[in-house]
Structure 1
Amino acid sequence: MAMIQCQTPDDVLRVISEKGIVFIDLKFSDPFGQWQHLTIPAHEFSAESFENGIPFDGSSIRGWKGIQESDMLLIPDPKSAFIDPFIEEPTISLVCDVEDPITREAYNRDPRQIAKKAIEFLKSTGIGDIAFFGPEAEFFIFDDIKFSNGPNHSYYEIDSVEGWWNTGREEMPNLGYKTPYKRGYFPVPPLDKMSAIRRDMVKTLEEVGITVEREHHEVGTAGQGEINFRFADLVTTGDNVLKYKYVLRNVGFKHGKYVTFLPKPIAGDNGTGMHIHFSIWKGGENMFAGDQYAGLSEIALYAIGGIIKHGKAIAAFTNPTTNSYHRLVPGFEAPVRLAYSARNRSAAIRIPMGSASPKAKRIEVRFPDASSNPYLAFVALLMAAIDGIENKIHPGEPLDKDIYSLSPEELANVPETPASLQEAIDALKADMDFLLKGGVMDEDFIQMWIETKQEEVDAIRLVPHPKEFELYYDI
């Protein structure tokens, strides 16, 4: 399938004609990072669709407003067009913004519109005119997953042909080659049983316009993997993360597998993160390159200072599930210390040193995970960085020591990421002003986020955990 590149509505309409496109699939993100879609026949789509939008009922979208404010408009972005490889009839998919049909203003709960506002705010500060993001979203490929909850039971069960727990399973024959815990980084096949699937994922990602840089097995057993793609501006990268998830899930489904981005699906093995590489540019110049620590500029250090200062509140968007905090646990490889370093991968912020070029200078924020909505995760990091730059918040000395060898007295001076979603929510309640600047987010949106996430916390808090029966049943 050939990749298409469109810049204007006319480009899209020409592809529709030349490729015999039958359907237009309109995709948009809900607040929590789930792609939603509706489909219209190609004969119902025209140049006016880009200007006037396509009306739809948004009242049943999770996190959006009620039925009294249900009418919305989808505004397709022609630059986002791709031929959808998972729909049998020839179909173009378009990523859309959401507008109010009466005022024609950006819908305040549309995360893609929030991302656009963040870039406009960046420009208004004079700090930069573009922010680049390069996420590394890890995932697991499972063969089977079952879960059920009720008043008298609760369980989940996952399985993988590669899972270390299957060394003794009768597979007629069991040929071995099961990946041991924490040893998946990264042996060749046949131990790596997911290599062919990942290559299929890479080919499909390239077909839909995502430039892939590398793919490999990750540390965990049971098919943990990572595919890295080329960085881009904030909005485009947000689009690409959702497209990436869409492709990986559907390619996995084609192979009879289940792809998940759950941060911690397997007890006792590595969790799944989404390290985010980030830099701010102005007039074609990288504002993060300089002559300070590890080749950073003073602006970059202030950006780090802002991210560290607001780190706990940021986590409400970058690590927005209760499961996120089974990964962010002190004492393991997880980057729970809100510090920065050029070498220490357990620090929350690392400065990659693979290239001496000023163009490659960036920071890598390591605590986020892929359960986040990418638009909101990037916005939270950008807004914290801007706050740090505007207020000259210096991050202090880097943490180049081995974190695990530090004394309790030394560790006491190094802040941590939240230990739970509840702690992240409480931090956001107390520290949201940096997100409200420039009208990027508003209190209505943040309040919706807090209320929804509090409901998730309570849903877990009110249900007995199966492990509790093991620990306390005969107490």
Structure 2
Amino acid sequence: MAMIQCQTPDDVLRVISEKGIVFIDLKFSDPFGQWQHLTIPAHEFSAESFENGIPFDGSSIRGWKGIQESDMLLIPDPKSAFIDPFIEDPTISLVCDVEDPITREPYNRDPRQIAKKAIEFLKSTGIGDIAYFGPEAEFFIFDDIKFVNGPNIAYYEIDSIEGWWNTAREEMPNLGYKTPYKRGYFPVPPLDKMAEIRRDMVKTLEEVGITVEREHHEVGTAGQGEINFRFSDLVTTGDNVLKYKYVLRNVGYRHGKFVTFLPKPIAGDNGSGMHTHFSIWKGGENMFAGDQYAGLSEVALYAIGGIIKHGKAIAAFTNPTTNSYHRLVPGFEAPVRLAYSARNRSAAIRIPMGSASPKAKRIEVRFPDASSNPYLAFTALLMAAIDGIENKIHPGEPLDKDIYSLPPEELANVPSTPASLQEAIDALKEDMEFLTKGGVMDEDFINMWIETKQEEVDAIRLVPHPKEFELYYDI
């Protein structure tokens, strides 16, 4: 299937005509990073659709407003057009913004609109005119997943032909080649049994317009993988993360597999993060390149200072699930200390040293994971960086040591990521002003986020954990 490139509504309409497109699939993100969609026949779509939008009822979208304010408009972005590889009839998918149909203002709970506001705020500060993001979203490929939660029973079960726990399973014959825990990085087949599936994912990603740079097995057993794609501006990268997850899930489904971005699905093995490369540019110049530590500029150091200062509140958006904090524990390559360093991967912020070119200079924020909504995760990082730059928040000295081996008295001086979603929510309650500057996020949105995440925390608190029976059943 050929890739298409559209810039204008006319480009989209021309593709519809030339390719015999039957349906238009309109995709948009809910606040929590789940793509939603509605489909219309191509004959109902015109140039006016880009200007006037497509009305829909948003009252049942999780985290959006109630039925009394349910009417909304989808505004398609022509630059986002791609031919959908998972719909049998020729179909163009378009990513949409959400607007109020009466005021025609951006909907304040639309995460894509929030990301756009963040870029406008960046421009208004004079610090830069574009923010580039390059995420590395890890995932697992499972053969089977089951879970049950009831008043008298709770369990989950995952399985993978590659899983180390299957060394003795009768497969008639069992040929071995099971990936040991923490040793998946990255042996060749037949130990790597997911290579063919990842290559299919790469080909499909390229078909829908995402430029892939590399793919490989990750550290964990049971098919943990990573596919890296080309960085872009904040909004485009947000689109691409959701497109990436859509493609990987559907390619996995096509192969009879289940792809999950759950941060910590396997006890005792590595979790899945979304290391995020980030830089700010102005007038074609990288504002993060300079003559300070590791080739960074003073602006970049202040940006790091802002991210460290607001790190706990940022985590409410970059690590927004209770499961996120099963990954953010010491000893599993998870960066739990809010410090910065060149090359040291145990720091929450790393400065990649693979290239001496000023254009390549960036910071890598290592604590986010792909359970986040990318528009909100990147916005939170950008807003913290802007706050650090505006207020000249210096991050202090770098931590060029193995953080996990530091003595307790030295470690006590290094701030850490939250230990739980509750701690992240509480931090956001106390530290939200940096997100509301320029009207990027408003209190209505942040309060909705806090209330929803508190409900998730409480849902876990109310349910006994199976491990508790092992620890305490005969107490």
Q: Same fold (TM over 0.5)?
A: yes
Looking at structure 1, the residues matched to 406 and 348 of structure 2 have their Cα atoms a distance apart, in angstroms, of 16
TM-score, L = length of structure 2: 1.00
Alpha-carbon offset, residue 50 of structure 1 = 0.1
Distance 1:330 1:125 in 2: 37
- Superposed CA RMSD in Å reads 0.4
Separation in structure 2 between the aligned mates of residue 332 and residue 31 of structure 1, nearest angstrom:
29
Aligned partners of 2:88 and 2:232: how far apart in 1? Answer: 30
Say whether 1:105 aligns with 2:105: yes
Give the structure 2 partner of residue 299 of structure 1.
Answer: 299
**TM-superposition CA deviations, 1:27-61 (whole Å, max 9, x none):** 00000000000000000000000000000000000
Name the structure 1 match of 2:359.
359
Question: In 2 relative to 1, CA 279–53 (structure 1 residues): closer, same or farther, beyond 3 Å?
Answer: same
Cα distance between partner residues in 2 of 1:227 and 1:332 = 20
| 1:405 Cα deviation from its structure 2 partner | 2.3
1:164-199 per-residue CA deviation (whole Å, 9 max, x = no partner) reads 000000000000000000000000000000000000
| Structure 2: tracts of 5 or more residues without a match | none
SS of residue paired to 1:222: coil
Alpha-carbon distance in 2 for matches of 1:184, 1:401: 25
Task: Measure how far apart 1:402 and its partner are.
Answer: 1.4
Alignment match, 1:414: 414
Structure 1: how far apart are the matches of 2:439 and 2:350?
Answer: 30
Task: State how far apart, in whole Å, the 1-side matches of 2:74 and 2:45 are.
Answer: 12
Q: Alpha-carbon deviations, 1:222-278, whole Å to 9, x = none? A: 000000000000000000000000000000000000000000000000000000000
Shift of 1:406: 1.2
SS of 1:427's partner is: helix
SS, match of residue 463 in structure 1: coil
The 3-state SS of whatever aligns with 2:372 is coil
Do 2:100 and 2:107's aligned partners in 1 also have CA atoms closer than 8 Å? Answer: yes
Q: For the residues of structure 2 that align with 1:99 and 1:158, how far apart are their CA atoms?
A: 40
How do 1:322-361 and structure 2 match up within 5 A?
A: 322-361=322-361
- How many residue pairs match? The answer is 475
Contact kept? 2:328, 2:335, Cα under 8 Å = yes
Deviation at 1:136, TM superposition (A): 0.1
User: Matched residue of 2:136: which SS?
Assistant: strand
**3-state DSSP class of the match of 1:332?**
coil
How big is the shift at 1:339? Answer: 0.2
Deviation of the 1:404 alpha carbon: 2.2
Is residue 72 from structure 1 mapped to residue 72 from structure 2 by the alignment?
Answer: yes
SS at match of 1:458: helix
C-alpha offsets along residues 298-325 of structure 1, whole Å, 9 cap, x if unaligned?
0000000000000000000000000000
> Could you tell me how far apart the structure 2 residues matched to 1:377 and 1:273 are?
13
CA distance in 2, matches of 1:170, 1:405: 42
Unaligned runs of 5+ in 1: none
Alignment check: 8 A CA contact 2:330 2:404 kept = no
Q: State how far apart, in whole Å, the 1-side matches of 2:272 and 2:329 are.
A: 13
- Structure 1 residue 344, shift from structure 2 partner: 1.1
Residue aligned with 1:394, SS: coil
Please give the TM-score of this superposition, normalised by the length of structure 1. Answer: 1.00
Residues 137-160 of structure 1, C-alpha deviation per residue, up to 9 Å, x if partnerless? 000000000001000000000000
Deviation of 1:407 (Å): 1.1
The CA deviation string for residues 359-387 of structure 1, in whole angstroms up to 9 with x for no partner, is 00000000000000000000000000000
Distance apart, 1:426 and its partner CA: 0.1
Q: Distance in 2 between matches of 1:70 and 1:107?
A: 11
Spell out structure 1 runs of 4+ moving beyond 3 A.
none
CA–CA separation in structure 1 for the residues paired with 2:304 and 2:373 = 21
- Where 1:24 maps in the other structure, the secondary structure is strand
Task: Please report how far the alpha carbon of residue 206 of structure 1 lies from its aligned counterpart in structure 2 after TM superposition.
Answer: 0.1
Q: Matches of 1:446 and 1:190 in 2, distance apart? A: 48
Between the aligned partners of 1:65 and 1:346, the Cα distance in structure 2 is 41
1:377 match: secondary structure: helix
Partner Cα separation in structure 2 for residue 329 and residue 139 of structure 1: 18
Q: For residues 167 and 143 of structure 2, what CA distance do their matches in structure 1 show? A: 15
Q: CA–CA distance in 2 between the matches of 1:320 and 1:402?
A: 27
Alpha carbons 2:346, 2:404 under 8 Å: kept? no
Q: Aligned residue for 2:278?
A: 278
Taking only the aligned residue pairs, the percentage that are identical comes to: 95
- Report 1:391-470 matches (<5 A): 391-470=391-470
Contact 2:287 2:297 in 1 (8 A): yes
Deviation at 1:330, TM superposition (A): 2.4
| CA-CA distance at 1:17 after TM superposition | 0.1
CA distance in 1, matches of 2:58, 2:90: 27
SS of residue in 1 equivalent to 2:424:
helix
For residues 404 and 60 of structure 2, what CA distance do their matches in structure 1 show?
Answer: 48
Instruction: Describe the superposition over 1:341-372 as per-residue Cα deviations: whole angstroms up to 9, x where unpaired.
Output: 00210100000000000000000000000000
1:16: Cα distance to partner? 0.0
Q: Given that residues 139 and 226 in structure 2 are in contact (C-alpha distance below 8 angstroms), is that contact kept between their aligned partners in structure 1?
A: yes
Q: CA deviation at 1:403?
A: 1.0
Give, in angstroms, the shift of residue 432 of structure 1: 0.1
Contact (CA 8 Å) 2:270, 2:332: kept in 1 or not? no
Other structure's SS at 1:93 match: strand
Per-residue deviation, 1:331: 3.7
Displacement of 1:333: 1.6
For residues 334 and 130 of structure 2, the distance between their equivalents in structure 1, rounded to whole angstroms, comes to 30
Q: Do the aligned residues in 1 keep the contact of 2:269 with 2:332 (CA within 8 Å)?
A: no
Distance in 1 between residues matched to 2:245 and 2:402, nearest whole Å: 34
Given that 2:12 and 2:81 are in contact with CA atoms closer than 8 Å, whether structure 1 keeps it comes out as yes
SS of the equivalent of 1:291 reads: coil
> Displacement of 1:95 after TM fit?
0.1
Matches of 2:187 and 2:398 in 1, distance apart? Answer: 34
- Secondary structure at the aligned position of 1:341 is classed as strand
1:332 Cα deviation after fit: 3.5
Distance 2:228 2:259 in 1: 16
- How far apart, in 2, do the equivalents of 1:384 and 1:421 lie? 19
Q: Is the 8 A contact 2:139 2:261 kept in 1?
A: yes
1:125 matched to which residue of 2? 125
